[in-house]
Structure 1
Amino acid sequence: MTVHNIYIFDRNGTLLYYHEWNRLKQSGMTREEEAKLVYGMLFSIKSFVNKMSPIDPKEGFLYYKTSKYTLNYFETPSGVKFVLNTDNHSQGIRDLLQQIYSQFFVEYIVKNPLCKLSEPIQSELFKTKLDAYIKQSSVYLTKSM
């Protein structure tokens, strides 16, 4: 199991935070271009899921899986979007994303009067705590292990 990267977007699609751990292949575009592409894809998938669902989806879109990776998605009631790309064998990612939101984003960003929710995250405390949390999680393993 391994974690590749994380994106955190605000409700308007602004990339608030990006970090990668075990990402082996780069996209060949700038981080801003890649973030816009990811957000646009999320917007389209969410719209498709909501329109095509035979029942009223409470959770809506949660993840998609390819032959190479899984994109895991969590959206807060305020519209903040968390995207965590993992390998296909990772489990418990939904809980991991909820913990990232409640224990790190809320504690170190939302409750911090110096952080503006519409601007990229600059908090070193958030960055180091999140990095340590991911690295100690059961999902985080490098390919060399």
Structure 2
Amino acid sequence: MIHSIFIINRSGGLIYHKNYSSKIAQLSSNEALTLAGTFHGIHVLASRISPATRGGDTVKDSGIQTIDTKNFRIHCYQTPTGIKFIAATDLLETKLTDILAKVYVLYSDYALKNP
């Protein structure tokens, strides 16, 4: 079950946040902004210290893909443009990369059509 979704731009600003579960505490807008900025900073540090993998002609940094805690799991999908789609789920969800990639397709379609 997906508890919440965050969309963070390439500089760490929060674009979108939505809670889908009453099981988690509701974040204030200030807490959501702080969480987005903190995750972005940790993601940047992780991508700098992680080994780079070669994909085609470019070098891609891995960054954070999943964070496991005792009670929930955080999944991150980073787009080629640097936007991060983050989902907080229960521990039963193992890999949301494909779902977050589909959310990115829907988001980009909407963003391109929005004047």
* TM-score of the pair, normalised by structure 2: 0.79
CA shift for structure 1 position 36: 2.3
Q: Is 2:43 the counterpart of 1:46? A: yes
Q: Which has the larger radius of gyration?
A: 1
Candidates 37, 58, 64, aligned match of 2:34: 37
Equivalences for 1:1-145 in 2 at 5 Å? 2-26=1-25, 30-31=28-29, 33-53=30-50, 55-57=51-53, 58=60, 59-102=62-105, 104-109=106-111, 111-114=112-115
Task: Give the aligned residue type for 2:17.
Answer: Y
Displaced runs of 4 or more, over 4 A: none
3-state secondary structure, aligned to 2:39: helix
> Which blocks of at least 5 consecutive residues in structure 1 are unaligned?
115-145
Higher relative contact order (CA 8 A, sep 6+): 1
Relative to structure 1, the CA distance from residue 75 to residue 39 in structure 2 (aligned partners, 3 Å threshold; closer, same or farther) is same
Cα separation, 1, equivalents of 2:41 and 2:12 = 13
CA shift for structure 1 position 48: 3.1
More strand by share: 2
Q: How many residues were matched structurally?
A: 108
RMSD (CA atoms): 1.9
TM-superposition CA deviations, 1:86-136 (whole Å, max 9, x none): 01110330110001101x112222x2142xxxxxxxxxxxxxxxxxxxxxx
> Which blocks of at least 5 consecutive residues in structure 2 are unaligned?
54-59
Q: After alignment, is 14-23 or 73-82 more displaced?
A: 14-23
Using the aligned pairs only, state the percent identity.
24
* TM-score of the pair, normalised by structure 1: 0.65
